[in-house]
Amino acid sequence: MARIVVITTSPEMGEQGRIAQEAQALGYDFCLLSLKDFNYSIVNGEIKVEGYEPRKGDIIITRAIFKLLHAITALVSYYKTKGVKVFDNNLLNHKYSINKLTDFIKLATYNIPMPKTYHVSYFSMYEEVVNNVGYPAIIKLTKTGRGKGIYKVASKEELDLFIKERESLIDSLGLDPNEKEFKLKKEAERFVIQEFIPYIHDLRILVIGEKVYCMKRIPKEGDFRANFSLGGSVELFAPDQKDIDLARKALDAVGLTIGGVDILITQDGRRYVLEANHTPGMLGMEEATGENITKEYLQYAIANAR
Ligand SMILES: Nc1ncnc2c1ncn2[C@@H]1O[C@H](COP(=O)(O)OP(=O)(O)O)[C@@H](O)[C@H]1O
Ligand SMILES: [Mg+2]
């Protein structure tokens, strides 16, 4: 029987169980290949990966791969040479699943409206760029998702505290001055600084090939981040054609055929794209729309595996 093989480094994500369920409902065998622990051998030129024996008719779907990207994409390319079909949502080309620093540049290249965004290499430069965007400012990690690395600083005192906390962590490592400088620079470079958009709607538009789904996300009490994964509630939202066009343009800019585009809408109707998510969650959208989005995702991936 044909088999769907999902390769991931995040086997714990809720979607994985839904994908297994829907793959089986579509009549496929299913294998979740977690490379969270990546154990392989190459003996006499033969590559063997613990947990996976390629079979004729396998369809590999790469999903939520957040580490060892170069090695894992090389491995997937190897399986392709063995005749296994792959749906990678362009991962083999990008070689990243989350890299906002890169995607902001791609979005700007396509003139996609986005919040003013600054990236600087030293904490000593933060205050100046925060002054450019004004308070409150958003400081966000460029390589995390699901709302985890998003901070809001409302005043110079909060900004100083944000920096101090990170500096004291590095101080506590007891490094020599050179190493400490290096670590501090690396830490400062993990973030971007953005203007805060006082939004009235935080939309997620999920595009799966020709299909488009849209929900509005409402932050839980006391939070400004609307992510479903942080406990935000979701409701069905009917997007304007221009929002759908904007989402499609954002996907083109980043280079995805399946993606989740976050759009903030302000009182006066301005739109700001926050990101085009390469591994969009499906559970929130299923809750909001009542539709079987996981099935749609799988059918698209199967039809477009090459
Ligand atoms: N510049 C901003 N202005 C206002 N809210 C923001 C801004 N950036 C992020 N947020 C809030 O935080 C949420 C998560 O931000 P996002 O950039 O999409 O990162 P993630 O990849 O963690 O989802 C957004 O959906 C929004 O509610
Ligand atoms: Mg987001």
Nearest CA to ligand 1 atom 17: 274
Task: For the chain, give the mean pLDDT.
Answer: 97
Nearest ligand 1 atom to the CA of 195 is 1
What pLDDT digit, counting tens, does each position of 149-189 carry?
999 999 999 999 999 999 999 999 999 999 999 999 999 99
> What pLDDT shows up at residue 74?
98
Torsion of the alpha carbons at 13, 232, 105 and 35, rounded to the nearest 10: -10
CATH code at 3-94? 3.40.50.20
Residue among 100, 35, 102, 106 at smallest CA distance from 70 = 35
**What b-and-e string marks burial along 110-122, b requiring 16 or more CB atoms within 10 Å of the CB?**
eebebbebbbeee
3-94 and 199-303 in the same fold: no
Measured in Å, residue 17 CA sits from the centre of ligand 2 at 22
CATH code at 199-303? 3.30.470.20
Measured in Å, residue 200 CA sits from the centre of ligand 1 at 13
pTM of this structure: 0.97
For residue 146 the two structure tokens come to 């699901």
Measured in Å, residue 146 CA sits from the centre of ligand 2 at 6
Q: How far is CA 289 from the centre of its chain?
A: 21
Would you place residue 1 in the very low, low, confident or very high pLDDT band (cuts 50, 70, 90)?
confident
Domain extent listing, the chain: 3-94, 116-195, 199-303
For residue 283 the two structure tokens come to 């559970």
Residue among 14, 9, 146, 123 at smallest CA distance from 66 = 9
Element counts in the chain: helices (H) and strands (E)? 10, 15
> What pLDDT shows up at residue 105?
98
Residues found in the chain: 306
- Looking at the chain, the whole-number percentage of residues with pLDDT higher than 90 is 99
Task: Please state the rounded mean pLDDT for residues 96-105.
Answer: 98
CATH code at 116-195? 3.30.1490.20
For residue 31 the two structure tokens come to 């294998």
- Which residues are in the CB-under-5-Å shell of ion ligand 2? 262
